[in-house]
Amino acid sequence: MKTPVSLSAHERALYARQMRLPEVGEAGQLNIKNAKVLLIGAGGLGSPAALYLVASGVGTIGIADPDKVDLSNLHRQIIHGFDTLGLPKTISAAESLMEINPGAEIILHPEGLTAENALELVSRYDVVVDGADNFATRFLAADACVLAKKPLVHGSVLRGEGQVATFLPNAGCYRCVYPMIPDASSVPTCSEAGVLGATCGVIGSWMAAETLAILLKQRQHSQMFVINVAEGRSQKIAITSDADCPVCGKSPKISEIKAENYQSSVCETSNSSMKESPLEISVTEAHQQLRSDEPPMLIDVRERDEHAIGHVLQAELIPLAELPNQLSKIPKDRQVLIMCHHGGRSMRATQYLRAKGYDLATNIKGGIDAWSQEVDHEIPRY
């Protein structure tokens, strides 16, 4: 198909408000129109991302998702409706997208992203948007993007928080942050922990904005945002290439996509210290440990203004965004407890540390807020 070299009068009228932005204009809108974006997952994150991308004028959108629409999806997966219950999500999503932009080309991949098709599929698109809900698919998408030299926009949600990351070719990748696929049971799913539909909307829309920024050539560096929707806070974390990264480092161990590398079995660990150290404990359990003869290290990953309101005296303040540059302060042979306001940011920090080999890192459930209610009432709540 011949690449369009101009916009029609209809398109100029349709995207007039967007084209008034100096960073867009007609040239930018044409870039958006000519773009091919692969969406992995048409669920809670993929729904708002797809809707805003097609509404912005992206000319070709691929949808890779093997699931069908279920009733429990509808409170957050806004691309679907009651009339599409039981249908493949690819078909349901395509129907909604065509209502918004009949001129877009929607390509369906109902088999989803698999080890067999990942590299070929990713290579066909300009940007990959990952809204997958499982570790295996996230790592598969990330590795395929590195090998195919394609930019990746990643998103995930956990309770009332989420993260959005942009990984550009040769500028740091997903495994630079999370080298190994973690145990699938180490993070609760939406069905286990719950999630607000609006939280998915915020993260999915942010993913769409990052995708458009890539298409408009506004992104020069890889970066990650950790967003606490309930608290109205976000933190930007710079991402750089890790020389020891197993896929983009100086001596990569991953040079091709092999199905066995993305099975649930690779999530299991034989490290006894990991098994002996729980992923999450209560504030009362943490308090008991801190009063023991060999207390763990306590790290507070909140911001400095939050720390000033109130904090646990034993805690060392290392804001989440600064954590990657402060790893030398954290021992690998000692129990490490992580605390934040309510437990979301600290869970992210715990996941990050465990991926970096800190097997004794443990999250404090409920954070300083629960600590104030159950351990030390003199610490102010906010």
- Side-chain-facing half-sphere of 316: CA atoms under 13 Å: 13
Q: Is the pLDDT of residue 6 over 90?
A: no
Rounded to the nearest 5 percent, the helix, strand and coil shares of the chain are 40, 15, 40
Number of domains in the chain: 2
Mean pLDDT for 96-108 is: 96
The confidence score (pLDDT) of residue 4 equals: 63
Structure-model confidence comparison of residues 194 and 179, the more confident one: 179
Q: Is the pLDDT of residue 191 over 60?
A: no
pLDDT band with cut points at 50, 70 and 90 for residue 272:
very low
Is residue 63 within 8 Å of residue 47, measured between CB atoms?
no
User: Does residue 25 belong to any structural domain of this protein?
Assistant: no
Q: Is the pLDDT of residue 22 over 70?
A: yes
User: Does residue 7 belong to any structural domain of this protein?
Assistant: no
245 alpha-carbon distance from chain centroid = 19
User: Does residue 156 belong to any structural domain of this protein?
Assistant: yes
Alpha helices (H) in the chain, listed in sequence order: 9-14, 16-19, 25-34, 46-56, 89-100, 118-123, 135-148, 174-177, 190-193, 197-215, 272-276, 283-290, 304-309, 344-355, 367-374
Residues 115 and 162 in one domain: yes
Q: Is 195 helix (H, G, I), strand (E, B) or coil?
A: strand
The residues near 29 (Cβ < 8 Å, ≥ 6 apart) are 7, 11, 15, 18, 19, 57
Q: Is the pLDDT of residue 17 over 90?
A: yes
What tokens appear for 323 in the block?
């954590």
The confidence score (pLDDT) of residue 352 equals: 86
Q: Is 358 helix (H, G, I), strand (E, B) or coil?
A: coil
User: Does residue 382 belong to any structural domain of this protein?
Assistant: no
Residues 59 and 102 in one domain: yes
Residues 183 and 309 in one domain: no
Which of 37, 62, 43, 33 has its CA nearest to residue 204?
43
pLDDT 10s digits, 114-152: 999 999 999 999 999 999 989 999 999 999 999 999 999
pLDDT band with cut points at 50, 70 and 90 for residue 193:
low
pLDDT 10s digits, 341-354: 999 899 889 988 98
Residue that the structure tokens 């590195």 belong to: 146
Residue that the structure tokens 């943490």 belong to: 286
Q: Is the pLDDT of residue 264 over 60?
A: no
Residues 244 and 366 in one domain: no
Residues 233 and 308 in one domain: no
Which of 192, 198, 193 has its CA nearest to residue 230?
198
pLDDT band with cut points at 50, 70 and 90 for residue 5:
confident
Mean pLDDT for 3-11 is: 85
Residues 184 and 211 in one domain: yes
Residues 107 and 218 in one domain: yes
Domain termination residue (choose one: 240, 267, 294): 267
pLDDT band with cut points at 50, 70 and 90 for residue 205:
very high
268 phi, psi to nearest 5 deg: -75, 150
**Type of residue at 210:** E
Residues 336 and 249 in one domain: no
Q: Is 199 helix (H, G, I), strand (E, B) or coil?
A: helix
Which of 231, 222, 204, 180 has its CA nearest to residue 358?
180
The confidence score (pLDDT) of residue 182 equals: 73
Residues 286 and 177 in one domain: no
Q: Is the pLDDT of residue 32 over 80?
A: yes
pLDDT 10s digits, 46-71: 999 999 999 999 999 999 999 999 99
Residue that the structure tokens 């030390």 belong to: 376
> Which CATH number characterizes residue 367's domain?
3.40.250.10
Q: Is 190 a catalytic residue?
A: yes
Q: Is the pLDDT of residue 253 over 80?
A: yes
Domain termination residue (choose one: 245, 267, 289): 267
The confidence score (pLDDT) of residue 268 equals: 38
Residues 48 and 180 in one domain: yes
Q: Is the pLDDT of residue 259 over 60?
A: yes
pLDDT 10s digits, 280-334: 999 999 999 999 999 999 999 999 999 999 999 999 999 998 998 899 999 999 9
Is residue 76 within 8 Å of residue 44, measured between CB atoms?
yes
Domain termination residue (choose one: 241, 267, 293): 267
Question: What DSSP string runs through 27-86?
Answer: HHHHHHHH-EEEEE--STTHHHHHHHHHHHT-SEEEEE---B--GGGTTT-TT--GGGTT
pTM as predicted? 0.77
Nearest 10 degrees: Cα torsion 274, 279, 280, 286: 20
Q: Is the pLDDT of residue 270 over 60?
A: no
pLDDT 10s digits, 70-98: 999 999 999 999 999 999 999 999 999 99
User: Does residue 256 belong to any structural domain of this protein?
Assistant: yes
Structure-model confidence comparison of residues 160 and 128, the more confident one: 128
User: Does residue 11 belong to any structural domain of this protein?
Assistant: no
Nearest 10 degrees: Cα torsion 242, 248, 253, 257: 140
Burial class of 120 by CB neighbour count within 10 A (0 to 12, 13 to 18, 19+): exposed
Residue that the structure tokens 């020069």 belong to: 220
User: Does residue 10 belong to any structural domain of this protein?
Assistant: no
- Check 145, 190, 200, 245 and give the catalytic one: 190
- Check 173, 245, 248, 340 and give the catalytic one: 340
357: left (phi over 0), alpha (psi -120 to 50) or beta: left
The confidence score (pLDDT) of residue 275 equals: 45
* Distance in angstroms (rounded) separating the CA atoms of residues 323 and 327: 6
> Which CATH number characterizes residue 53's domain?
3.40.50.720
Mean pLDDT for 218-235 is: 91
pLDDT band with cut points at 50, 70 and 90 for residue 265:
very low
Residues 262 and 321 in one domain: no
Percent of the chain with pLDDT over 90: 78
What tokens appear for 371 in the block?
């600590």
Residues 142 and 249 in one domain: yes
User: Does residue 100 belong to any structural domain of this protein?
Assistant: yes
The confidence score (pLDDT) of residue 231 equals: 83
Containing structural domain, residue 333: 272-374
Give me the chain's average pLDDT, please: 91
The confidence score (pLDDT) of residue 185 equals: 59
pLDDT band with cut points at 50, 70 and 90 for residue 269:
very low
The confidence score (pLDDT) of residue 344 equals: 87
